Amino acid sequence: MRIIIIDNDRFICASLKTILQSDPEIEVAAVGTSGEEAIALYDSIRPDILLMDIQMGRMSGLDAGEKILMKHPDARILFLTTFSDNEYIVKALRMGAKGYMIKQNAEAIAPALKAAMSGQSVFGGEVVEKLPSFLLGRERPNLSEYDISQREMEVIEQVAEGLNNKEIADKLYLSEGTVRNYLSVILEKLGLRDRTQLAVFFYRNL
């Protein structure tokens, strides 16, 4: 896969390039240090994945990501940042970013890129832990266009809060088998593959 790395710290750019290019499946096609460069490089190279920081001078990575996705809706953008601010996470989710990871474990970056390349949504553990708090004070999303029933919506909400099948069954007074059946139907209706994609879909539509 061909990727572009964008970070306003040149040392981090160089370090990430060295780490990632040690993987034979990854080619770093270019690096940049600003949101403006991210847009220009994406337009000229059209990489498989854009790995980008968030806080970068005049134009943030989030702003650059929005502009890129407006022009290239199929762009795969993975944010790698030191900031786990709720507002940043919500914006990244809603714009359609493929992932949001906190800069901690360099060894997790290559697997995250490969997961994003295969169509998965990639969110680090620190980010996933924050997702249920986004429900507070928010209205339930309207998924009527997907033919989602009231009961199915209740199951989706519990998945979004991080509950497993047994916990959902206990909370909704259902059997685990019934919960599994609901999940299979829900995933099919929404065209999703797993619980993580379902949770991300839910929060993107809040």
Contacts of 63-70 spanning 24+ positions with Cβ under 8 A:
63/35, 64/6, 64/35, 64/36, 64/38, 64/39, 65/38, 65/92, 65/95, 65/97, 66/95, 67/39, 68/38, 68/39, 68/42, 69/95, 69/96
Interval 65-77: pLDDT, tens: 999 999 999 999 9
Give the end of a domain, one of 60, 90, 123. 123
Give the end of a domain, one of 123, 152, 178. 123
The answer, yes or no, to whether residue 35 has pLDDT greater than 70, is yes
Structure confidence at residue 99 as a pLDDT band (50, 70, 90): confident
Interval 127-138: pLDDT, tens: 666 665 555 555
**How far apart (Å, rounded) are the C-alpha atoms in residues 81 and 86?**
13
Same domain, 88 and 174: no
Q: What is the CATH number of the domain that holds 186?
A: 1.10.10.10
pLDDT at 4: 97
H/E segment holding residue 151? helix 150-160
Partnered with residue 4 across adjacent β-strands are 30, 50
Whole domain around residue 158: which residue ranges? Answer: 139-204
Sign of CA dihedral 169, 164, 199, 180: negative
Determine, yes or no, domain membership for 134: no
Determine, yes or no, domain membership for 76: yes
In this prediction, residues 64-93 reach a mean pLDDT of 86
* Number of domains forming the structure of the chain: 2
pLDDT at 61: 93
Angle at 88 between CA 82 and CA 92, to 5 degrees: 105
- Whole-model pTM: value is 0.69
Determine, yes or no, domain membership for 130: no
Structure confidence at residue 84 as a pLDDT band (50, 70, 90): low
Same domain, 21 and 117: yes
Mean pLDDT of the chain: 86
